[in-house]
């Protein structure tokens, strides 16, 4: 099996038009509005020859917390699946996860490393991690002030 990676924007094509992304984002934010604390959902989805990918992130408005969950469906050689259907299926799965996450007082998490999941007859992989963007920027600034960090740190999401 090939190494799993959430590909950068320049290696994928968008699945939907911008308006559709905004509609999905609005639906998620509206559905979970009672649980959101100065935060909102963000969504990315793309397709290429090798995979269909989706990321749904929960971001605090002050950038203190970013919780992205990445999903990857690995396409087979002669795979004729509808990438829209696969992406919607993964959104449905994550929607259920977010509901559980909020009901359980934000105390359940997806694995840090890729794990295999099946939902509605579709098998895909997902992982998630919580980041503090403000703290990361402060750390980078501190390191730069002390002569470190002259190199670019690659995002955990861009492994290829």
Asked, for residue 156, whether it belongs to a domain, the answer is no
> What's the confidence (pLDDT) of residue 136?
86
Asked, for residue 157, whether it belongs to a domain, the answer is no
Asked, for residue 159, whether it belongs to a domain, the answer is no
The 3-state DSSP class for residue 154 equals coil
Asked, for residue 155, whether it belongs to a domain, the answer is no
Asked, for residue 1, whether it belongs to a domain, the answer is no
> What's the confidence (pLDDT) of residue 109?
92
Domain range enclosing 51: 9-145
> What's the confidence (pLDDT) of residue 160?
43
* CA 77, chain centre distance (Å): 25
**pTM (predicted TM-score):** 0.86
> What's the confidence (pLDDT) of residue 151?
62
Average pLDDT for consecutive 10-residue bins of the chain (160 residues)?
Answer: 87 96 97 97 96 97 94 88 95 98 95 96 96 87 81 57
Could you tell me where the beta strands, DSSP code E, fall in the chain? 13-14, 39-47, 51-60, 66-74, 115-119, 122-128
* CA 50, chain centre distance (Å): 18
To the nearest 10°, report the CA torsion of 31, 32, 33, 39.
-130
Q: How many domains does the chain have?
A: 1
């Amino acid at each position: 099996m090939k190494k799993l990676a959430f590909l950068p924007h320049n290696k994928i094509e968008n699945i939907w038009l911008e308006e559709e992304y905004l509609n999905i984002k609005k639906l998620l934010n509206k559905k979970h509005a009672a649980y959101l604390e100065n935060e909102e959902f963000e969504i990315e989805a793309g397709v290429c020859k090798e995979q269909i990918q989706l990321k749904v992130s929960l971001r605090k408005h002050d950038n203190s917390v970013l919780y992205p969950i990445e999903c990857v469906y690995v396409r087979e050689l002669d795979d004729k699946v509808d990438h829209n259907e696969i992406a919607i299926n993964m959104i449905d799965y994550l929607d259920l996860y977010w509901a559980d996450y909020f009901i359980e007082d934000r105390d359940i998490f997806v694995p840090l490393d890729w794990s295999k999941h099946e939902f509605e007859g579709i098998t895909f992989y997902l992982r998630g991690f919580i980041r503090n963007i403000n703290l990361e920027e402060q750390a980078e600034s501190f390191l730069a002030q002390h002569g470190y960090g002259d190199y670019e740190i690659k995002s955990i999401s861009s492994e290829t």
